[in-house]
Amino acid sequence: MMRVHHVGYLVKHLAPAQQAFARLGYTETSPAVYDPDRDADIAFWTLGTCTVELVCPRSERSVVAGLLKKFKNTPYHLCYETDDLEGELKRLENAGFMRIDDPAAAPAVPGEARVVFLYSAQIGLIELLTQRP
């Protein structure tokens, strides 16, 4: 069974986005970390059972810079945690989800997480995450 881990938000400016989530009652659960692969600053904020991942690209080179330009500040993926990344990946690919990258380390996520992104024509972008090696 997969569990919802976070909602990924694209944000153009990190500090004002953090202020907005603070006003909604969220607290910072993981301070901003620079992810060199994605060329983005990434922070986690939580309210109750809901965690948001703020993804703020640093430059046009970032893999998410184009998405931010197109969609502005917006939620853009749901991340699901699983104990069996390879198994879920296979299952979802067989069900029509398109893998758009290879499982890779996610340095901004607390712990030793690995993540992979998939695209569904029906529901857009999702992320799978595991804390298992």
Residues interacting with Ni ion, by CB under 5 A? 8, 53, 79, 127
Whichever of 41 and 53 has its CB closer to Ni ion, that residue is: 53
| 123 contacts: CB under 8 Å, gap ≥ 6 | none
Cα(55)–Cα(34) distance, integer angstroms:
10
- If one counts every other C-beta atom within 10 angstroms of the C-beta of residue 47, the result is 14
- Closer CB to Ni ion, 75 or 96, in the complex: 75
Closest distance to Ni ion from the beta carbon of 118 (Å)? 12
Minimum distance from residue 111 beta carbon to Ni ion (Å): 14
DSSP 85: H
CB of 90 to Ni ion, least distance (A): 21
**CB of 38 within 8 A of CB of 46?**
no
Residue nearest to Ni ion (CB): 8
Is the Cβ–Cβ distance between 116 and 127 less than 8 Å? yes
Instruction: Look at residues 31, 51, 48 and name the one whose alpha carbon lies nearest to residue 108.
Output: 31
Please state the closest distance from residue 91 (CB atom) to Ni ion, in A.
20
